[in-house]
Amino acid sequence: MDSIAIQGGPLLNGTIPISGAKNSALKLMVASILTDQPLLLTNMPRLADTKFLGRLLRQHGVEVTERDGADGQETLFHAPEITSTFAPYELVRQMRASFNVLGPLLARTGHAKVSLPGGCTIGARPVDLHLQALTALGAAIELDEGYVSAMAPKGLRGAEIEFPFVSVGATEHTLLAAVLAQGTTVLRRAAMEPEIGDLARCLTAMGARIEGIDTDVLTIHGVTSLTGATWSVIPDRIEMGSYAVAAAMAGGEVRLTRARAGLMTALTDKMIAAGVEVEPTDDGVIVRRDPKQRLRAVDVTTEVYPGFATDLQAQFMTLMTVAEGDSVIRENIFENRFMHAPELARLGADISVHAGEALVKGVEALQGAPVMATDLRASVSLVIAGLVATGETTVGRVYHLDRGFERLEEKLTACGAQIRRIKDEGDEH
Which sequence positions are flagged as catalytic? 120
Binding status of residue 330 toward ligand EPZ by CB under 6 A: no
**Of residues 58-117, which lie at the interface with ligand EPZ (CB under 6 A)?**
97
User: What residues contact 217, with CB distance under 8 A and at least 6 apart?
Assistant: 186, 187, 188, 190
| Size of residue set near ligand EPZ by CB under 6 A | 22
**Of residues 130-169, which lie at the interface with ligand EPZ (CB under 6 A)?**
130, 167-169
Binding status of residue 396 toward ligand EPZ by CB under 6 A: no
Of the candidate residues 26, 159, 240, 314, the single one contacting ligand EPZ (CB under 6 A): 26
- Residue 97 Cβ vs ligand EPZ, minimum distance, rounded to whole Å: 4
Binding status of residue 28 toward ligand EPZ by CB under 6 A: no
Binding status of residue 311 toward ligand EPZ by CB under 6 A: yes
Of the candidate residues 31, 33, 44, 333, the single one contacting ligand EPZ (CB under 6 A): 333
Of the candidate residues 80, 123, 146, 325, the single one contacting ligand EPZ (CB under 6 A): 123
Nearer to ligand EPZ among residue 252 and residue 310 (C-beta): 310
Binding status of residue 45 toward ligand EPZ by CB under 6 A: no
Q: Single out the segment in contact with ligand EPZ by CB under 6 A; choices: 58-66, 124-132, 344-352, 389-397.
A: 124-132
Binding status of residue 40 toward ligand EPZ by CB under 6 A: no
Binding status of residue 302 toward ligand EPZ by CB under 6 A: no
Binding status of residue 23 toward ligand EPZ by CB under 6 A: yes
- What is the H or E stretch that residue 51 is in? helix 48-60
- Residue 25 Cβ vs ligand EPZ, minimum distance, rounded to whole Å: 10
Give first-to-last CA distance, the chain, whole Å: 7
- Residue 302 Cβ vs ligand EPZ, minimum distance, rounded to whole Å: 9
- What is the H or E stretch that residue 327 is in? strand 326-330
Specify whether the CB–CB gap between 249 and 384 falls below 8 A.
yes
Binding status of residue 20 toward ligand EPZ by CB under 6 A: no
Of the candidate residues 63, 66, 71, 128, the single one contacting ligand EPZ (CB under 6 A): 128
Instruction: Report the C-alpha gap between 15 and 132 in whole angstroms.
Output: 45
Residue nearest to ligand EPZ (CB): 169
Q: Residue 279 phi/psi, 5° resolution?
A: -125, 110
Instruction: Report the C-alpha gap between 419 and 385 in whole angstroms.
Output: 12
Going by C-alpha positions, the residue among 46, 93, 415 that lies closest to residue 257 is: 415
Q: Contacts for 328-331 with beta carbons within 8 Å, 24 or more apart?
A: 328/299, 328/300, 328/357, 328/358, 328/359, 328/360, 329/299, 329/300, 329/301, 329/357, 329/358, 329/360, 330/299, 330/300, 330/301, 330/302, 330/356, 330/357, 330/358, 331/302, 331/356, 331/357, 331/358
Instruction: Report the C-alpha gap between 394 and 245 in whole angstroms.
Output: 19
Q: Is 170 left (phi over 0), alpha (psi -120 to 50) or beta?
A: alpha
For helices 265-273 and 237-250, give the axis angle rounded to 10 degrees: 10
CB atoms within 10 A of CB 198: 23
Going by C-alpha positions, the residue among 306, 318, 401, 304 that lies closest to residue 358 is: 318
Binding status of residue 19 toward ligand EPZ by CB under 6 A: no
Binding status of residue 269 toward ligand EPZ by CB under 6 A: no
Nearer to ligand EPZ among residue 130 and residue 411 (C-beta): 130
Binding status of residue 298 toward ligand EPZ by CB under 6 A: no
- Residue 332 Cβ vs ligand EPZ, minimum distance, rounded to whole Å: 9
Instruction: Report the C-alpha gap between 62 and 54 in whole angstroms.
Output: 8
- Residue 170 Cβ vs ligand EPZ, minimum distance, rounded to whole Å: 5
User: Would you tell me which residues interact with ligand EPZ (CB under 6 A)?
Assistant: 23, 26, 97, 123-130, 167-170, 310-311, 333-334, 376-377, 404
